[in-house]
Amino acid sequence: MNLKRSNSSAPQKQGWHPAWLALLSSLWLSSAGNIALWSQVHQLPEVTGFRGLAFAIGFGAIITAAISAILSFLNWRWLLKPAIAVFFLSAASGAYFMMSYGIVIDSTMITNVVQTDTKEALDLMNWRMLISLALLGILPCWVLWKIPVKPLRLGQQIFGNILTLVISLVVIVGALLAIFQDFSSIMRNHTQLRYLVNPLNSYYAIGMVAAKPFQRNQTTLLPLGRDAQLNPANSKHKPTLLLLVLGETARMGNFGINGYDRPTTPELSNENIISLKGVMSCGTSTATSVPCMFSHMGKEAYESRKNNYESLIDVLHHAGLAVLWLDNQSGCKGVCERVPQVLTKSLKHPTLCKNGECFDEIMLHEIDQRIQALPAERRAKGVVVVMHQMGSHGPAYYKRVPDQFKKFLPECKSNALHECSREQVVNSFDNTILYTDHFLGQAIQWLKKSEANAAPAMLYVSDHGESLGENNLYLHGLPYNVAPDLQKRVPWITWLSASFEKQSGLVPACLKNKSETPLTHDNYFHTVLGLMNISTDVYQSKLDVHADCRGAS
Ligand SMILES: [Zn+2]
């Protein structure tokens, strides 16, 4: 009996106790897996000397214990290793993006990842990423797989797990008490730190994104502006042709016409345009800004909404206008579903498109034919065309610009921006603005040609800005409250034809006086309705930028 038992338990002596494996993994994750966090903590002015060291050790102990507390729920015979492997790999990819681009991981970032198409995702891939993934993710996974684990009886396992959980909680509470004063003030003053704790930031963000549908009714789309109609005075005039250019990642300060010290906007400078410089975006990413811009609610109400509503595009449609959405990007994020759309991905053009991606000018190609295909009775009332640009979408800025617009050199030829000098990064970004300037210039030429039969106007607004290495930050998408203004200040450029000015009674001098007025994307919905002279209950004149600039029409 005795003999038999010792025989059967002999192999059990081999291998590690699973609790040790979980603890060692937690230590690896809280140290190497969190290099992005530690390099930021190291730079904080508060973290110096012995007290700084004590803070770092205490903070590290809290992260280690928190991870090991989570692992105590996953510590079962066949589950532990796969669970730890998922932690390693998610920590490795999170660490790469946080270190390389100075981004943090929150629910917006996760939404972006989910909504990004494969083309954009491939733009982000590079050798440095693969090496980081290998060193921080695959290598520890390989070591993990090699370590033999001692099989435990169910009772032992449950006891071990409970003990791990209790010890972890004790360590968290103890460490918190020891460093509480510094911890609370540092976390309050540097809110970005909480989005850097890897990989818990990713899991928390995924949880927030997954929980959102439950807080909001996703099954029904509430109607909006069904009472919309064109002001009867419109029938006496030529139909309006409004071009809404939805910019991408264009930051306000890099436009020559906005005072930038480089000539990035030669074509716009030659046109009679009005540029508003005080506009803040709704979000810091396409996925948050675009639906918010086309919503009637404004940033605050939009973010806490309980229901989804139809968009500005629907209201224009309800008013009887012909509406067309052209998309040279990753889609309209749900705002244009009920009107005709053209995705440029499906188009072929010998010079404007290659490898499944097109330069923005493709949207002006055959535009008259596309408009002609819209219902005639709607066209007679007016036309709104939206052009959603590829614009300055990073990190591969150099891919957005035809060769003849690469005027600022040398450019950054890599999508790993930190491999290039700041000068190269800024050069490549400025080339994208130069090309956007050309695109807008071409769009204005097209609108001028339509003046025979229509009263044309253009409104160009970008969805958000961009960081180009300032404070080691790149790209965009930081949580709104911690993002620098560079990611939030957006260009807002208006061009009105003479016939449009005359019909609308808009006084350009009045608009020009608003060039420094603080405005936001909240103004967009109501300004567009105002430009089209649409009356509806959802229109708020106080948010219409032009409301007090209309003389007698
Ligand atoms: Zn965007």
- What is the four-CA torsion angle of 258, 263, 266, 271, rounded to 10 degrees? 20
Contact 428, 412 (CB under 8 A): yes
Identify any residues that bridge with 353 across adjacent strands, giving them in sequence order.
358
Cα(413) to centroid(ligand 1), Å: 21
What's the gap in Å between 284 CA and the centre of ligand 1? 8
> In this predicted structure, what is the pLDDT of residue 340?
96
pLDDT value of position 123: 75
- How many angstroms is it from 249 CA to the middle of ligand 1? 5
pLDDT score recorded for residue 487: 96
pLDDT the model gives residue 7: 44
Measured in Å, residue 246 CA sits from the centre of ligand 1 at: 9
| Distance between Cα 288 and ligand 1 center (Å) | 9
Backbone angles phi, psi at 74, to 5 degrees: -105, 5
Q: How far apart are CA 442 and CA 452, in angstroms?
A: 17
Query: What confidence score (pLDDT) does residue 345 get?
Result: 85
User: Mean pLDDT of successive 10-residue segments in the chain (553 residues)?
Assistant: 42 79 96 92 88 94 96 93 95 89 81 74 79 93 94 93 96 93 84 88 86 77 95 85 98 97 98 97 95 96 92 98 96 93 90 92 97 96 97 94 97 87 96 98 98 96 95 87 93 96 91 94 98 96 94 57
Q: CA–CA separation, 169 vs 161, rounded Å?
A: 12
Q: What's the 84 CA to ligand 1 centre distance in angstroms? A: 34
pLDDT of residue 8: 44
Instruction: Measure the CA angle with vertex 138, ends 137 and 144; round to 5°.
Output: 95
Residue 127's CB is within 10 A of a number of other CB atoms, namely 10
Interval between CA 343 and ligand 1 midpoint (Å): 17
Cα 250 to averaged position of ligand 1 atoms, centre (Å): 8
Tell me the residues surrounding ligand 1 (ion) with CB < 5 Å. Answer: 248, 286, 463
Instruction: Look at residue 413 in the predicted model and tell me its pLDDT.
Output: 93
Residue entry with tokens 């050199």: 409
Whole-number Å distance, alpha carbon 248 to ligand 1 midpoint, is 5
Of residues 553, 45, 491, the one with CA closest to residue 273: 491
- Three-state helix/strand/coil letters over 461-493: EECCCCEECHHHCEECCCCCCCCCHHHCECCEE
Distances (CA, A) of 422 to 293, 429, 476, 511: 31, 11, 16, 36
Residue 36 CB contacts under 8 Å (≥ 6 apart), including other chains? 94, 95, 98, 99, 196, 198
Characterize 357-384 residue by residue with b for buried, 16 or more Cβ atoms within 10 angstroms of its Cβ, and e for exposed: bbbbbbbbeebeeebeebeeebbebbbb
Q: Cα–Cα–Cα angle for 431, 331, 465, nearest 5°?
A: 40
pLDDT at 13: 58
Cβ(243)–Cβ(482) under 8 Å? Answer: no
Rounded Cα distance, 357 and 390, in Å: 9
- Kindly report the backbone phi and psi dihedral angles of residue 481, in degrees, each rounded to the nearest multiple of 5, phi listed first: -75, -15
